[in-house]
Chain A
Amino acid sequence: NAGVTQTPKFQVLKTGQSMTLQCAQDMNHNSMYWYRQDPGMGLRLIYYSASEGTTDKGEVPNGYNVSRLNKREFSLRLESAAPSQTSVYFCASSEPGQGYEQYFGPGTRLTVT
């Protein structure tokens, strides 16, 4: 079991460029999440998917879009990157039927210049 995997690990973008962060989980979880983590701050929820076929906005959704491709995969897209989106992005998954615990991937460190 790999758990939650994320690609890429690092990325540098110029302002205005677009990119997609990939996330996959092999635990057969129904729910998946995207967070961003900025220095001195906790994790802030960008978008989540309670189940395959559904997505909902979190606390900081502006500038992002998501796609729940199937039960395993949940991608995060930046259509026009801005320096304010420089952050570490974490994907997580959980199975509500088993409790509230979320399992996190290793993160993607994104820098927008």
Chain B
Amino acid sequence: GESVGLHLPTLSVQEGDNSIINCAYSNSASDYFIWYKQESGKGPQFIIDIRSNMDKRQGQRVTVLLNKTVKHLSLQIAATQPGDSAVYFCAENIRGSNYKLTFGKGTLLTVNP
């Protein structure tokens, strides 16, 4: 089965609320994680990344948290906007895999005005 998975396939939030998208991984050799955003009809777009030697990383309105004990990471989006509506994927690099990424199935985030 897939090493990278998601707890919820869909998430619906109100505009202005905070969103949390979760992702689980199973490979202890995963050393790098990326979150991608994919809008309808477009290719995935980089949001934020985190290395396995970090617990938290912040960007503009986004925060990624990594819990290596339970092999879980999350993407938090602050003050969610309609433009945030998209599918969000987490992806991992497994050490020694020659920079390849393994993608999860994705979570569809819908922001209601």
Residues of A that sit less than 8 Å from B by CB: 4, 31, 33, 35, 40-45, 48, 50, 56, 58, 90, 92, 94, 96, 99-107
Residues of the B chain whose Cβ atoms lie less than 8 Å from the Cβ of A41? 105
Kindly identify, within residues 27 to 78 of chain B, every residue whose CB is under 8 Å from any CB belonging to chain A. Answer: 32, 34, 41-46, 49
Bound state CA distance, A4 and B106, in angstroms?
22
Looking across the interface, which residue of chain B has its beta carbon closest to that of A105?
B43
Bound state CA distance, A7 and B103, in angstroms?
24
> A58 to B45, Cβ gap below 8 A?
no
Given contacts A100-B34, A100-B49, contact A42 B104 (CB under 8 A): yes
Size category of the binding interface on chain B: 20 to 34
How many A-B pairs with Cβ below 8 Å?
Answer: 55
Q: List 7 A-B contacts (CB under 8 A).
A: A42-B4, A44-B103, A100-B32, A100-B101, A102-B101, A107-B42, A107-B43
Residues of the B chain whose Cβ atoms lie less than 8 Å from the Cβ of A50? 98-99
Residues of the B chain whose Cβ atoms lie less than 8 Å from the Cβ of A40? 9, 105
> A94 to B43, Cβ gap below 8 A?
no
Bound state CA distance, A35 and B102, in angstroms?
11
From A31, A43, A94, name the one whose CB has the most chain B CB atoms within 10 angstroms: A43
Bound state CA distance, A17 and B105, in angstroms?
30
> A90 to B89, Cβ gap below 8 A?
no
Quick one: which of B45, B89, B98, B99 contacts A43, CB cutoff 8 A?
B89
Residues of the A chain whose Cβ atoms lie less than 8 Å from the Cβ of B105? 40-42
> B42 to A101, Cβ gap below 8 A?
no
Report, nearest first, the 4 A-B pairs whose CB atoms are least far apart.
Answer: A104-B43, A42-B103, A43-B103, A42-B105
Given contacts A42-B2, A100-B49, A104-B44, contact A94 B99 (CB under 8 A): yes
User: Closest Cβ of chain A: how far from B100's Cβ, in Å?
Assistant: 6
From B4, B44, B89, name the one whose CB has the most chain A CB atoms within 10 angstroms: B44
